[in-house]
Amino acid sequence: MIKKALKTKKRKGGIVIKNLLKMMKPFDIIIIFLLVALSFSPMAIYSVQNSQNEGDKIYAVISIDGEEVDRFLLTGNEEHKLITYYPAPGQYNII
Domain ranges in the chain are 2-52, 59-94
Mean pLDDT of the chain: 80
Tell me which of 17 and 33 has the higher pLDDT: 33
Give residue 53's identity as a one-letter amino acid code: N
Please tell me whether the overall predicted TM-score, pTM, comes out greater than 0.85 for this model: no
Nearest to 32 by CA among 15, 43, 20, 44: 20
DSSP, residue by residue, 52-74: HTTT---EEEEEETTEEEEEEE-
* 45 has a pLDDT exceeding 70: yes
pLDDT of residue 5: 47
Mean pLDDT calculated for residue range 25-48: 90
